[in-house]
Amino acid sequence: MTCRLTLGLLATLTLASVPARAVDQAAIDRALDKGVAALRKMQQADGTWPHQWIGATALAGLALLECGAKEDDKAVLRAANAVRQASIDLTHTYSISLCLLFLDRLGDREDEPLIRSLSERLLAGQNTNGAWSYGCPPVGEEEKQRLREVLNKRKVAADRPPNGARLPGFPFPQPGPPVGMWMAGAGGDNSNTQFAALGLWVASRHGVPIEQAANRMADHFRSTQMEDGGWTYMTFFRPAGAPMFPGMSSTPAMTCAGLIALAIADGAVLEDARKRKPDAKLPDISKDKELMKGLEALGTVIDNPRGLKPQQPGPPFAPPGGPLPPTERVGGRSYYFLWSLERVAVALDLKTIGGKDWYGWGAEILLENQEPDGSWKGEYAEGGVDTCFALLFLRRANLVRDLTVALKGKVVDPGERVLSGAPRGKRPRKMLSGIETRDAKPLEKPLLKAMSAEGNRLAEALLQATGPRRDQLISTMETEKGVHYTEALAAAIPKLEGEARRKAREALANRLTRMKDETLEEYLRDEDAEIRRAAALAVGQKDSKALVPGLIALLRDPEISVVRAAHASLKALTEQDFGPPATATREERDHAVRQWITWWSKQRKK
């Protein structure tokens, strides 16, 4: 389910700026009844819905529950059995997240081991840039056997699949970046990441600590927000001053992804603050500038769905201001966007966004485009996915009710953005939706944390020094106390050359060997590649076997020097070598990671 919103969808949803009309509740109820009936008809004999990924079955089960089905409903029971069986081997990020949502919604205590296992896989799948891609690390054979035994001990369900019935097998995908594009950070996309964000929040309900992962995710979205307030599907490397790659401007669905992720991160901060000090003054979420700017941008999309007019034909990636591909009707990825919109609105308890009735607008679109058989069909019609999106929207399903309670009254509709103004007296190009322009650029925000003034001064001194003076400074930075020495070494190393760089790198690694394991664990996830590299070497030098999982995660690092350092320490700590080689492809690196995880899982059981 690659969820980058196409430009054609935005043309479909470019509509006249008039208030949305009231939608008849009786009409919505009829649409829900027809939609639920259509969804039930799609279920197969083995309990699944016809789709490559088990996540579609989890989504269908979730939709049925939100539409009023009971936990002992036969269709729900059959879906639950299929989801439980498939969850043992699951590595697909979308599916892991949806299975977490479904199993949590069922509320069966016997699912706790599965929920914990899925949560741990999801946490392990976060990339160093705070985002998620399609795959998460698998569990070892012993863990799989434990989960199978847990399932076998369950009470016999009323409607298990018949003996011999097919239960789905789901291959681990190895998608590469589109031709001509360069993935930033450790990869990942905002569509996978918004589903992972929902999974994280569910994991927190089951005692899984998510604060660090949520903060990294928030940093990812705060540092990649576009100047128009939205977010794009994926962040790419872009030379300074160069235009964005065609089609990589903000989209409504990905703006919803950024908003739900920031809301969950803010909620995690509040919950963590309450746990640490119940009487402490809590952070003011209403001052989250990125969240409010994103809501302003999203409000520009919402409008009345009357008067659709196809755009003039044009090439798939037209130049800025050029024509868009033609659109014939609501479809494509519209339903995915509408569910994304609904998730944000109900999570933040917003009746309007941009001063507009988001629900009446979306409901009118859905009522006018329901198929005669009761389903909805866009780009994700397979397995009833679009039908689930539509049903969840119409039901105003809130998958994070506890988050809504935590944020109650803290976020308000920022009101309507005025789009007519133009900077420097220039007339603005007509906005496709008010949220994306073809020449939009990311906000100028630092991707790395700010260095202290003292750290900056020391780094400059080191770069200016030569000969014995430089060696003396490196020695001082290796041994003296103070985080500014760590900062200075990390900042200077990329600008040093030859023997000076080698000595500085050695000094930084030696410096970190004096750190506690808790500090080293943080440094393994630092934004600065030189600090991650030094921390990886320090783990090996300290013989800190407890940090082996952190080293395994670094085998997917975008910086090859970090990968090599992690690999070297893993070999030293374990006397094993599962790779990856220095020239490994991404697939070979993923294969090596899976081997390391399988081996390490077995060691923990001994």
- The model's pLDDT over 116-138, given as tens digits with 9 standing for 90+, comes to 999 999 998 888 778 898 888 88
pLDDT (tens digit per residue) in 51-98: 999 999 999 999 999 999 999 999 999 999 999 999 999 999 999 999
Higher pLDDT, 16 or 502: 502
Q: Residues 157, 158, 164, 166: is their CA dihedral positive or negative?
A: negative
Q: In angstroms, rounded to a whole number, what is the distance separating the alpha carbons of residues 378 and 369?
A: 10
pLDDT (tens digit per residue) in 184-233: 334 578 899 999 999 999 999 998 888 888 888 988 888 888 877 888 87
Q: Is the pLDDT of residue 336 over 70?
A: yes
Q: Rounded to whole angstroms, what are the CA distances from 264 to 13, 227, 293? A: 27, 22, 16
Residue 247: the pLDDT is 38
Q: Is the pLDDT of residue 40 over 50?
A: yes
Residue 141: the pLDDT is 85
Q: Which residues pair with 251 in a beta bridge?
A: 231
CATH 2.60.40 applies to domain 453-605? no
pLDDT (tens digit per residue) in 345-355: 999 889 888 88
Residue 433: the pLDDT is 36
Residue 354: the pLDDT is 84
Residue 605: the pLDDT is 63
Residue 539: the pLDDT is 95
Q: Rounded to whole angstroms, what are the CA distances from 381 to 29, 33, 60, 580? A: 21, 18, 12, 39
- Dig out the tokens for 57 from the structure: 């079955």
pLDDT (tens digit per residue) in 431-451: 233 333 333 344 433 333 456
Residue-averaged pLDDT of the chain: 77
CATH number among 1.50.10.20, 3.10.129.10, 3.40.50.880, 3.40.50.720, domain 7-163+185-310+326-425: 1.50.10.20
Q: Is the pLDDT of residue 44 over 80?
A: yes
Q: Residue 284: which pLDDT band, with cuts at 50, 70 and 90? A: low
Q: In angstroms, rounded to a whole number, what is the distance separating the alpha carbons of residues 539 and 518?
A: 11
Q: Is the pLDDT of residue 242 over 60?
A: no
The residues spanned by each domain of the chain are: 7-163+185-310+326-425, 453-605
Q: Residue 342: which pLDDT band, with cuts at 50, 70 and 90? A: very high
Residue 282: the pLDDT is 55
> What average pLDDT does range 282-306 have in this prediction?
73
> What average pLDDT does range 97-110 have in this prediction?
94
pLDDT (tens digit per residue) in 520-536: 988 887 778 899 999 99
> What average pLDDT does range 307-316 have in this prediction?
33
568-591 burial, b at 16+ Cβ within 10 Å, e below that, comes to ebbeebbeeebbbeeebeeeebbb
Residue 237: the pLDDT is 39
Residue 171: the pLDDT is 27
DSSP state of 285: G
Q: Is the pLDDT of residue 564 over 70?
A: yes
Q: Is the pLDDT of residue 377 over 50?
A: yes
Q: In angstroms, rounded to a whole number, what is the distance separating the alpha carbons of residues 225 and 255?
A: 9
